[in-house]
Amino acid sequence: MKAILTEQQVALSIKRLAHQILENHIQLKNTVLIGIQPRGIYVSDRIVDELKKLVGPENINYGKLDITFYRDDVRKELKIANKTDIRFSIENKQVVVIDDVLWTGRTIRAALDALLDFGRPAKVELCVLIDRRFSRELPIHADYVGRTIDTFASQKVMVRWKEKNEVDEVVLV
């Protein structure tokens, strides 16, 4: 097991990602933030908390998206769906999709399909805590990245959160 991000580095990365999003979306006008269920929610909740400190909660449109039945591998095993909670249209909005790890790109492809149920966005950007850049199966890249790492396909990136694992860290197994 190898540490990729310590607790302090996770906190700094989240703060930096929030500031980068705000740089490109001043006051978050016409912008919505969408966290991908289940693991992306930990990252998106924290980014949204940082943004609330900077622009106030009234300026933030934040939703959570379940992509379970949009995945191309859902037929292989029984999946238990999470909850989608998007109470607004994304029609003509700037959408920032947030997830923990970008690996093959298949989760993001599924998220793009699922998003269309809520309107046609003007633009979609991707924010991830970890980008496993040499493992892509689809032509998808992140606009905001906490840390880029190179891994073998056999390795796993584990993102641990205090809420679930009692510590914030990212490790390579």
Rounded Cα–Cα distance for residues 20 and 27 (Å): 12
pLDDT at 122 exceeding the cut of 80:
yes
Query: Mean pLDDT, the chain, as a whole number?
Result: 93
Residue 78 is predicted with a pLDDT of 57
Confidence bin at 8 (pLDDT 50/70/90): very high
Residue 74 is predicted with a pLDDT of 58
E runs forming strands in 6-150: 31-36, 61-65, 94-102, 123-132, 144-149
User: Which two tokens mark 85?
Assistant: 């909670």
Which residue bears the tokens 């860290």? 169
Rounded Cα–Cα distance for residues 173 and 171 (Å): 6
pTM, rounded to two decimals: 0.94
List the domains of the chain with CATH numbers. 8-153 (3.40.50.2020)
Residue 72 is predicted with a pLDDT of 76
